[in-house]
Amino acid sequence: MQIEFELVTYNEALDTFELDETMYQMEISDEDAQTYELLKSSDLNLYNWLKESEQFINYIREEIYPDSDKKKVAISDINGTTFRRFYFFKVTSGDSHYEYFKKLFGIHEESDWQDREEIGEEILESLLVKRQELIINLEVNTMDDNIDEEA
Amino acid sequence: MDNKYIESMLSEMDKDLSAQGMSRRDAMKLAGLSSAGLFLGATSTASADEEKIVKNDAKAKIVIVGGGLAGISTAARLTLNLSNPDITIIEPEETSASYQPGQTLVGAGIWDADDILYKRDDFVPDGVKVIKERAILFNPQKNNLTTETGQVITYDYLILAMGVQLDFERIKGLEEAGRAYSSGNNDKLMNALGDSICSIYTAQGSVKTWEIMQKYIAQAKSGKKTKFIFTHPSTPIKCGGAPKKIIYLTNARLKEEGARENAELTFYPNGGAMFGVPEYHDAIVGQFKREGIKHHYRHNLIEVDKEKKIATFDSKWQEKGPWDPVMKDFEVIPKHEKLRVPYDFLHVSPAQIAPREIAESDLGSAKGWIPVNKETLQHIRYENVFSIGDVAQVPMGKTGGSVRKQYKVLVDNLIAHMNSKKLEAKYAGYTVCPLITDIGTVMLAEFDWTVTPTPSFPLDPTVERWIFWLMKVYALKPMTMYGMMSGRA
């Protein structure tokens, strides 16, 4: 089975994300395909599974960004499941994104009083933390490498 | 108290009950008058548990800032649960224990001011010390705080329960009103509001609300078209139903006087719905329609001209924005403009904020509220600090009904922490709002963080019922003042 995915690159200095705008494809094993089927309806579980996958990270390191070992990236789309709102959410974003993040971050809208802008700011505050969990650091762990070399 | 309504309701109740072969006493028992444990969100198991309190031998100096319902109930519960309690309450206001949920009823002339006035010292549990001052400086790194006279109070555990401040001064034209608390002397606020603006959010203000309401009901009765305006602010507020309750009661009083046709009642809430729970929202919209009460969402009161009797609102709406190619969705653009609305009678539900001394301390969050774990009520940075009630940053938790659930959780967790145990008690967000929809009917809105109705009774929670009115008028106050304040209900 193949998975199709897109990436965003993270600019640490500016704390911004940029779409890579290339659709990548990677072949996964039958066992991974089964895992994918189990996780595909749960977007963040799917994300975390891929983020922890050595095969996936190595594919990005070796096939996509072979010359950028200090690069930080994040997944923007996997087989039609999108994560773009994590990186590009704005106070003016559409209602569906508000609903998604309110549920994710446990923001209980007391619609008696809360403004869209206020909830939007709250979402952005929570995203500052959440985004860091999603970022994939492509830097090779030099300490481990050294140990390997010494061994 | 206005006995006319009570007699009429009791008579109606007796008729209904006898038709079902039930006595009034049995019905009251069912409603919880005799057994607070069966009342509102409680279970029979919880009731049984309460009878088996085993005193804990852990020792610590516990300081509670705030002597309202939350602070005193917590002190009482700790006193029941600890063998050697060392508890100090810091509270300057001698009427801090007054019954705030009754302010709506006072505002509509159903209760008198004396019906809600209670003194702090009558409820402070035996052995609990009281410092009759305001805490003005907090130093959580050193486990101490300073009072307004410079007393430095140290603690092992700190419980913050000082409620909210009513921020009238942010409304242009009412700057001289300053900030107020619900209880105590609010002469400055009353003077600033004048003769046509009122608010049930203070005890004194609720008395004045009834005076002003009668004046404008009389005006409507005389044949003059009279505009009644009601607001709901842009901040979290205590008892989110209160701004609507006073509308319903004004409506009821107008009908009673035969003056309704000359009155125009309009509600200007800041938010975009009547209630956070869709089922209750729909019910309220239906009630407004039935009663001919107008409403305009997304209006926040920002200015009043007391001489010309003009209320100015920040009116907000949204427009479809440009296509966002990255998010693959249309943006939504917020817009706003000022809207000037003439009024005869203006009821203000003020913005509500955390007390300045907390907001400016290391204990407060960016918005001022005290950031706690919403389930354990423990401060997110200081493990020996807990918070409860209106000042705690807990979603949908600013009601006495929430406090009733919170204070037991807080006490269990605090004692667990004193014993170096895991904090296992959890607050699930239960909130109750007995929404008075008329004189004689209440819709009992109960819900939690699932944002769905969580009724305690096997009845449709969106239906207005007289039994809940009786509960509101008769049962809730004794349960609160003598059940919760003694740490038992």
Whether residues B288 and B323 share a domain: the answer is: yes
A59, amino acid identity:
Y
Q: What percent of chain B has pLDDT over 90?
A: 79
Strands of B343-466 (E only): list them.
345-347, 351-353, 385-387, 431-438, 441-447
**Which range has the worst mean pLDDT, A30-39, B15-24, B386-395?**
B15-24
Element (H, E) at B8: helix B3-19
Q: Report the alpha-carbon distance of residue B377 to residue B405 in Å, rounded.
A: 11
B259 and B273 part of one domain: yes
Q: Three-state SS string across B268-289, please?
A: EECCCCCCCCHHHHHHHHHHHH
What does the pLDDT read at residue A145?
44
How many CB atoms neighbour CB B307 within 10 A? 8
Stretch A21-28: mean pLDDT: 93
**DSSP label of B125:** P
CATH code of B367's domain: 3.50.50.60
pLDDT at B6: 53
Tell me if A113 and B281 make a contact (CB, 8 A cut-off): no
Q: pLDDT confidence of A150, banded at 50, 70, 90?
A: very low
How many domains are contained in chain B?
2
Query: What's residue A141's pLDDT?
Result: 60
B395/A106 touch (CB, cutoff 8 Å), yes or no: yes
Residue partners of B212: CB distance under 8 A and separation at least 6 = B195, B196, B197, B198, B345
Where is the domain boundary, B328, B350, B372?
A: B350
B259 pLDDT more than 80: yes
Q: Looking at the structure, do residues B326 and B197 belong to the same domain, yes or no?
A: yes
Q: How confident is the model at residue B301 (pLDDT cuts 50, 70, 90)?
A: very high
Of A84, A90, A111, the CB nearest to B276: A111
Q: What is the mean pLDDT of residues A33-51?
A: 94
Q: What's B195's domain CATH number? A: 3.50.50.100
Query: Between B395 and B72, whose confidence is greater?
Result: B72
CB-side neighbour CA atoms (13 Å) of B45: 0
Instruction: Tell me if chain B has a CB within 8 Å of the CB of A94.
Output: yes
pLDDT at residue A73 greater than cutoff 90: yes
Residues B368 and B455 both lie in one domain: yes
The whole domain housing B452 covers 32-92+133-163+354-486
ipTM surpasses 0.85: no
Residue ending a domain, among B350, B376, B394, is B350
Could you tell me if residue B23 is inside a domain?
no
Give the model confidence (pLDDT) of B44-83 as tens digits: 334 444 557 789 999 999 999 999 999 999 999 999 999 9
Quick one: B173 and B276 in the same domain? yes
> In which band, very low, low, confident or very high, does the pLDDT at B23 lie, cut at 50, 70 and 90?
low
Last residue of a domain, one of B287, B322, B350: B350
Question: What span, in angstroms and rounded, lies between the C-alpha atoms of B308 and B342?
Answer: 8
| pLDDT surpasses 50 at A112 | no
Determine whether the interchain pair A93/B332 forms a contact, defined as Cβ–Cβ distance below 8 Å: yes
Whether chain B has a CB inside 8 Å of the CB on A88: the answer is yes
**Which segment of A101-105, B104-108, B163-167 scores lowest on mean pLDDT?**
A101-105
CB atoms near residue A30 (< 10 Å): 8
Work out the average pLDDT over A56-75: 89
Domain presence at residue B12: no
Question: Is residue B266, in this structure, part of any structural domain at all?
Answer: yes
Q: List, as one string, the DSSP characters of B134-195.
A: -EEEEETTTTEEEETT--EEE-SEEEE----EEEGGGSBT-GGG-EE-SSS--HHHHHHHTT
Name which of B231, B326, B374, B399 to mutate to probe chain A: the one with the most chain A Cβ atoms within 10 A of its Cβ.
B326
Q: Which residue of B has its CA nearest to A87?
A: B327
B315 and B362 co-located in one domain: no
Residue A144 has pLDDT above 90, yes or no: no
Nearest to B332 among A88, A92, A110 (CB): A92
The per-residue pLDDT of chain B, averaged, comes to 90
Tokens 């009460």 -> residue = B293
The reply to whether B145 and B47 lie within a common domain is yes
Q: What is the pTM of this model?
A: 0.84
Reported as type and span, the H/E element at residue B79 is helix B69-81
Q: What is the DSSP string of B217-242?
A: HHHHHTT--EEEEEEE-SS--SSTTH
Determine which of A38-52, A99-113, B51-65, B294-308 has the lowest per-residue pLDDT on average.
A99-113
Do residues B290 and B343 share a domain?
yes
